Each structure stands twice: as structure tokens, then as C-alpha cells.
Structure 1
Amino acid sequence: MRVRLSSSAAAWGGALLLAVAACAGPAEPSGGATGAAGAAAGSSGSARATSSSPATPSTATAAHAHGTSATPKASPTRTPLRAGERFLTLRVPAAYRPSPPSTGTDDYRCFLLDPRLSRDAMVTGVDVLPGNPKVVHHVILFRVPPAQVARAQALDAAQPGQGWTCFGGSGVEGQGDSLDAAPWLGAWAPGGGERVLAKDIGMPLEKGSRVVMQVHYNLLAGRGPDTTAARLRLAPADGSRKTLQTVLLPAPVELPCRLGHTGPLCNREASVADVTKRFGTIAGVTGNFLNMICKGVGPSPTQRCTRPVTEKATIRAVAGHMHLLGRSISITVNRGRPDERRVLDIPVWDFDDQGSRAVTPAVHVKPGDTLTVECRHDQALRDVLPAFAGQPERYVVWGEGTTDEMCLGIVMVTRP
């Protein structure tokens, strides 16, 4: 599934990769968004790749469906080490107190961590341990190959304190200029716990590599210090495992204000300017770029994007990512064709359960096939979710804050 970009679009594609990487966390099948990917079915949980009919939750149940219930979810069961595996824990050297670098309530901070590998390894599982769950919105672990370590160190040294501000991706060069090979080792979002890949797959981590841990802090619940850590499950790079790769399927978000609601940010240009002010130029141009590559339909609660498959691949797991205004999300292979297959269907979006779903049996795709992600958002959720209390209605476009929105399909594949 290789996305071919023209020379002019390649730069946009690189920028978009950085932007979409900021808030997407592929995960194992059972539970929340943790782990580099949700591989095939295995000891870590049951498979969920459903094709149920879409459903619309009532406003009365929306608060629970979007994670405002006071009842905590049960902690996922931890999987014992398998033959040849070992644990490696990476953590920030000292507590970090998040603070937005500009207006708003979101702080994206990247921390450079050294796994000190003496030989190449395969990452076979990830357990992200949020130090302060009240403020940690998501965590992504980026792989930094040896050739890019100096660049990462320069970014780290350029700002006072530990780490650096990193809206979008990590900011390290060489992270990729397309959407089909995101440099992730793992991710966490609400509802997450340890997730372990199937025995036949892993993600390479070279000797001399570093890991960037990007933490998105949302400060609506406070500004307390954080000491988030990540525990990697490592196995020898002996050639016995296939390489798992992550494909991103972003679609536009063009959610207009409701009838009868007015205000300065109900103007799309003003809303885009506000996103740009809070998160930078890349975030501001992402919406227009997505409309261009996805042939956007204009203002609508439902948006989709279809991309061609140009390379043989086997889909092992899928996940979706939206924020608090999300209602439903799906990923479909060959939408509208006789061989159509829906590999992800979440008819009632739950922000606090962003787990991936194993695709069983695995789906094989080839050149000529297509992948379609479709999302539905709903401005009415502003009236029932505490995060929007006191906030004016706005025209919602793609943005990186918790109260902004995204539409992102995540497809985890192995390739010949």
C-alpha cells in the first residue's frame, strides 16, 4: 500500500505525516490504544473486526460513550515474557510540568530516550505507563535510526529543560515522506495497557537508535507534573519475524456550526487561523491538503477518503482515531465493489477505548484494490461533554487539540 506523491506533493505528504502522527495510536485488539500495532490474534486479547450496522447514540448516552463516566476501566491483563524476550523500560529523567507554548490547553512535548542497545532488536510489545493520566491525552513512541540521532539531539538541546515542543510529529528528519510507513514503535491513548504482537511479527530497532516519546498533554484537568514511561518488549533480530508497518488513512474534517449558532469561529477561515495560531503552519494547512487529496465533499458531518493500494500487503489489524465529537468510524476494502469488505466498523465511538481490532482472517490486498476511511462527527456533543463547557461553537477542521477533531484510519500490515 504505497502512496505515490508527485515531487510537489511529497513535501505536503511529509508535513501531513508529521501532523497526523501527533494524535494517532494503533493498538492491540483487546482494549485501548497501546502497542505499536494490533497484529493478528494472539494471547493479548480477542479479535474484533466487525461489520455491524451503524448506530447513533442518543444525546443522553453520549457522555458515557465519550469517556466521561466516573467508572474506571479494568486494567488489561499483562502477558508473561515469551521465549527469547526481555523487558526494557524507558522513562523521562525527571518530572515534567506541562505548559502550553501558546494559547490553548494543549502541550505536545518530545523526550529523547536512549535504549542503549548493544545489538539490533525487534520490538514485540509496548506498555506505555502514563505518569499523570489526568493530563496525558496520548503517547507515541517514534523510532529514530542512527543516522538521525544527531538531528534529534540538536532539537533536544535547542530548548531549555528536558525535551522540546513538537506539535505534529517529532520533528526529526527522515521520518518518512508518505503515509504508508509511519515510524512508530508504539502508542497509548485512553483505555490502554500492555499489548503484545503476534509471535511472527515485530518492529526493528537498530543498535545505536534512539526513541522519541511524544506526550500530548491536555490541561483541562490540571497542570500537575508527569513522569510517563514506556516498557518495551524486545526479542533478538534473528530473521524469524516479519516486519509490521503502519499505514495512515487520514480524511478531512469539515464540521460546520449548527443552525442557529453563530460566532467569529463559525467562519472556516477564522477557525483555520485559530488552529494555525495554536499549533503552527503544518496544522493549519493540513485541512486544505486533505480536501485536495481526498476530493473533499465540503461542509458535512460525514467525510471519507479513498486511496488506491499499489503494493501487495496483508492487513493484520486496524484502528480508528477521532476526538470528542466523533460518532462513528469505519475502514473498508474496495468500497462499492462486489468484493467489498469492511475491516473496521465502530458504530458508536468511545474516546476512552481506542483499541485496535485484529483482522481475522487476515485480509490480503493487491494493486488495484482501495482503502476507504469514513468518519461521522456531531456538534451536538458540545452540549453534553464537560470539555466544551464555556467554549464557543466553531467550524471544526483538522486540529491537534483535544477539543479539535481528526478522522484517521490506521492499518497495520506486513508485506512480502
Structure 2
Amino acid sequence: MLMKNLLLLIVVICSLVFAACSGSGSSEQSTTGSDGDATVGGDETSGTDDGAATGDSFDYTWHNSVSLILANRCVQCHTEGGIRSDTPLDDFDTAKGLAALIKEKITERTMPPYLAGFDCNEYSNDERLTEAQIAAISDWADNGAPEGQPKADQVVDVEPLLDYSMDRVDLELKLPTPYTPVSTPDDYRCFLMDWPETEVKYVTGWGVKVDNAKIVHHIIAYYVPPENVAAYEAFEAAESEPGYACYGGPAGKGASSADQRATWIGGWAPGGKAGKMPLNTGIKVKPGGKIALQMHYSMTQNEPSADQSSIVFQLEDSVEKPAFILPWTNFKWLGGDGMNIPAGESDVVHSFSNSPHMLFSFLGTVIDNPLTLHAVGLHMHVLGISGTVFVQRADGTTEECLLDQPHYDFNWQRNYVFKEPVLIYPGDKLGVECHWDNSLQNQLLVDGKPRTPRDVSWGDGTVDEMCLAVFYVTGADEAPF
């Protein structure tokens, strides 16, 4: 029972990993981008220099190269109303003044914030810049950021991101009342909303309508089953402000592990778009429950102000492949056993691997068929610096990389959708390895000074830590836990 309760708890807290800066998608879908006449020459995943002339025969200008690159990879966040509205990149005059900063960020590969490493796996809608695109922007910045001719022929190739937008909106739920954050600089607030459907539905697409983009940092929707509704209503009733305080998941203060049970449906982070689940898949939602919507408001750049955002769903009566979220970690760590991160150490490593089929059998659900992984994410807290997710095949001789994040960033967490879904057979082991830096140089700042390092282990707080892989999975009718 302890193992089962721990697994239910971690389902709740894993959701941050799937808050992404792009719409959901899958290689199984064949939708093309809206800018289909753009040519494709560079290798988007390997960053090779196949796609553009980089010699002195071309002058890279705003119109013939830079604006196209930024529009396809950066403007979704760097625009008026976006999360980075302080540095808009959708007009020439502003971008010219930021040319040196743009060059610095792209050459460091801190922007765009697509943190999957090279030479591990291939993902749908890879947002990384190719070496050719980096060279074009760098040349433009070094030469004074010329504007060029408005209708100039493009001289650098940019592959438009695929369109994974929802086909339709079947249901929209809005925050019950406008809310102005009361905690700064961060306010985690959950709001309960009725789920109006009277029959079983499958969520096959999801998105948000952000009301106040200046302060909304992420949004996560959870489904609370009927047997847990009373507990969640009590969380809300205990507070005078709208909603209730929540961190790490949708449960309120003092919740038992049984009360915390909720199913993750979808997450949004700055720049995200409404999107479909991988083709022919969906997450099952039964009637009689509620939606707990976790809002993370960030006031690091703006003062608190009212927000009344809403969420939208695409629903189906049935799907070919029901899906669920699989959190993956060493559950001994949750009990404080074996994930110690000593104060002052600059590279602490912990890893874990096990068979999901064996775990499900232990919990009472036997699955003989392969599981299919459609997407993967990695979650640590602020001391995390790098991590990998992998599969060890049952023959013991093969290890396959699923996700490598050589430069993990707590502020840019997302899911990565595989170009080709990955099959996990009985006996295969899923593994995760995390690295942390607990030295003085990597501490959170308090009043402009780094916190004193302390021994750290697993916990929900920002100054605690986690090591968690999260998968979007098909292969079972419902989540087997």
C-alpha cells in the first residue's frame, strides 16, 4: 500500500514536466506547417550546416534571413503579450537594438530554450537553431544588423514547425472569478471547476486562453475523480481568497496521499499553443469529477494584477489507444532513502532503473503487451544541472537514449514528443539519471546573496530536490495504478 500511495502522489507532482513552450504533437500526424513554401535544407536535429550559404557572398539582413528565423523559433514568446514581452523580436527596430544580445543567447544555445541534447533521440518539432541559422544571425549582428530590402529572396533555410493545433473546441472552462495574486514573487493557486460531461470522454486536445500573460507562468489541468471531490472542496473552503494555495500538485495543505489522487490532463507554459494529443490517443475522464486548475503566477517582472484565464478541450467518445501519464523514479527516494545531495558538492549523481511491467504487476495490474512511449520529460528543481532518461533492453546488452539534457534549467521544463514512438517490452527497464550542483555558486539568491548550502534530499519545495522522468504512454486501457 505504501508503494501504491507513493506512486499516486508522484503522479500529482510530475505534471510540471509536461508544461511546454509549444503545442503537443506526434510524428504520427501528417499536418503540414502553415508556411509550407519555406524551403528545407538544414538538418534541424543535428545542427549541421547544410541549409544556407555562410560565405562572404551573402549579406544576411533582417528581411532575407533574420526575421524568418526569429518568426519561426522565437516570436511565440518574444512579442507583445508574450511571456518575454520585455524583449520583443517581431519588429526590425527593436530587434536591431537587441542584436548583440540575440547573438550571445543563440551562440550559447540558451535560446530558444529547447534543452534536449544532440545525438540522443529525434523529436517532433525540434526548435533548435541549425549552425547555419546561428551563423546567419551572428553575421547580421556583427555587421550592424542591416535591414535590407523588404521583398528580398531568403538566403537561409528555415523549416516551419508543424501545425498541431486542435481541430475544434468542445468545452471551455473559465476561472470562476478573477484572481489577483497575494503571494510574491510566486503564487501557486488552484481553482476547482465542475466537469460537465455526463458520459466518459477522452481528452484528445487541450489548450489555454491566457487572460493576463504578464504574470501567468504556467497552467496545469488535473482531473479529480468523484471519490476525491469532497477533499478538494475542503481545501477551497478553508481559505478566504478564491481557490486555495497549492504547490507541486493540485492538493491543498495537509492532504493525505489518498486525498491527493488526481489525473494530469495537460500543461501550458509561456509560448505554448492549443494542441492535439498524439494521433488516436487520449486521456480518459469519467463523469462526476472536477477539474483542479493550478495557476503559477510570477511577479518577477510585473506587479500583481487580476487574471481570469480559461482552458479549452477537444473531446472524443472513444479513442483507439487510451493514454496515461507514467511518472518514473526510485520510490525509495520519496521516503528519504538514498538521494542525499550533500552541501557544497558541485556534481552529485543519482540514478535508477527498473521494469515498468514488473512494477505494475506488483501493484496488481499484469500487462503482457508492450507499452508505447510517445513523449518524455525530465523534472528536477533549482539545483539540477543535467540529466538523462534511457531504456535498458531485457537482453542486458543494449541501452538506448530517450532524452539527454546536458544543461537542465528549472525555468524551461517541457515534454519532448518522439518522432518515432518507443516500444517498451516486458523485461525492459526504464532509467533516469540526475546531476545536481549544491555548491555556493548554484544557490538561490535571497536579498541578492546566495543561500548557504545545506544537505538536500527529495521534497516538494523549491529548495528541495527531485529526479523524475515522465512519459506519455499507451498500452493499457487506464493508468495501471
Q: TM-score, normalised by structure 2?
A: 0.59
Structure 2 distance, partners of 1:343, 1:45, is: 25
Structure 2 distance, partners of 1:164, 1:205, is: 23
Query: Secondary structure of 1:24's partner?
Result: helix
Question: Which residue in the other structure is 2:422 paired with?
Answer: 363
- Compared with structure 1, are the counterparts of its residues 409 and 123 closer, same or farther at alpha carbon in structure 2 (3 Å cutoff)? same
Map 1:14-413 onto structure 2 (within 5 A). 14-18=8-12, 20-21=13-14, 24-26=16-18, 32=21, 41-42=28-29, 79=164, 81-82=166-167, 85-100=168-183, 105-171=185-251, 183-227=263-307, 229-237=309-317, 239-250=318-329, 289=334, 291-292=336-337, 295-296=338-339, 299=342, 300-310=347-357, 311=367, 312-334=370-392, 337-351=396-410, 353-379=412-438, 382=441, 389-395=448-454, 396-400=456-460, 405-413=465-473
Structure 1 distance, partners of 2:336, 2:26, is: 30
Structure 1 distance, partners of 2:294, 2:195, is: 16
- Compared with structure 1, are the counterparts of its residues 226 and 382 closer, same or farther at alpha carbon in structure 2 (3 Å cutoff)? farther
Query: Secondary structure of 2:17's partner?
Result: coil
Q: CA deviation at 1:115?
A: 3.9
Structure 2 distance, partners of 1:219, 1:361, is: 39
Are 1:123 and 1:232, in contact at CA under 8 Å, matched by a contact in 2?
A: no
Are 1:39 and 1:198, in contact at CA under 8 Å, matched by a contact in 2?
A: yes
Are 1:329 and 1:375, in contact at CA under 8 Å, matched by a contact in 2?
A: yes
1:266-295 deviations in whole A, cap 9, x for unaligned? xxxxxxxxxxxxxxxxxxxx9953653xx4
1:154-196 deviations in whole A, cap 9, x for unaligned? 3322321221122333228898799xx9710101234432221
Tell me which protein shows more strand as a share of its residues. Answer: 1
- Compared with structure 1, are the counterparts of its residues 13 and 121 closer, same or farther at alpha carbon in structure 2 (3 Å cutoff)? closer
Structure 1 distance, partners of 2:259, 2:233, is: 21
Q: CA deviation at 1:405?
A: 4.4
Please tell me the root mean square deviation across aligned C-alpha atoms, in Å.
4.4
Are 1:50 and 1:344, in contact at CA under 8 Å, matched by a contact in 2?
A: no
Percent of residue pairs bearing the same amino acid type: 28
Structure 2 distance, partners of 1:45, 1:401, is: 41
Query: Secondary structure of 2:16's partner?
Result: coil
Structure 2 distance, partners of 1:129, 1:325, is: 32
Aligned partner letter, 1:304:
S
Structure 2 distance, partners of 1:372, 1:167, is: 26
Question: Which residue in the other structure is 2:475 paired with?
Answer: 415
- Compared with structure 1, are the counterparts of its residues 367 and 44 closer, same or farther at alpha carbon in structure 2 (3 Å cutoff)? same
Q: TM-score, normalised by structure 1?
A: 0.68
- Compared with structure 1, are the counterparts of its residues 125 and 170 closer, same or farther at alpha carbon in structure 2 (3 Å cutoff)? same
Are 1:126 and 1:230, in contact at CA under 8 Å, matched by a contact in 2?
A: no
Aligned partner letter, 1:355:
R
- Compared with structure 1, are the counterparts of its residues 12 and 203 closer, same or farther at alpha carbon in structure 2 (3 Å cutoff)? closer
Q: CA deviation at 1:383?
A: 6.5
The higher relative CO (CA closer than 8 Å, separation ≥ 6) is in: 1
Aligned partner letter, 2:428:
D
Query: Secondary structure of 1:234's partner?
Result: strand
Are 2:165 and 2:273, in contact at CA under 8 Å, matched by a contact in 1?
A: no
Q: CA deviation at 1:224?
A: 0.9
Q: Which runs of 5+ in 1 are unaligned?
A: 1-6, 53-59, 252-285
Which range moves more in the overlay, 361-370 or 330-339?
A: 330-339
1:200-243 deviations in whole A, cap 9, x for unaligned? 10112233332110123344445513425343332331x33311
Q: CA deviation at 1:413?
A: 0.6
Query: Secondary structure of 1:320's partner?
Result: strand
Which entry has the higher C-alpha Rg, 1 or 2?
2
Query: Secondary structure of 1:25's partner?
Result: helix
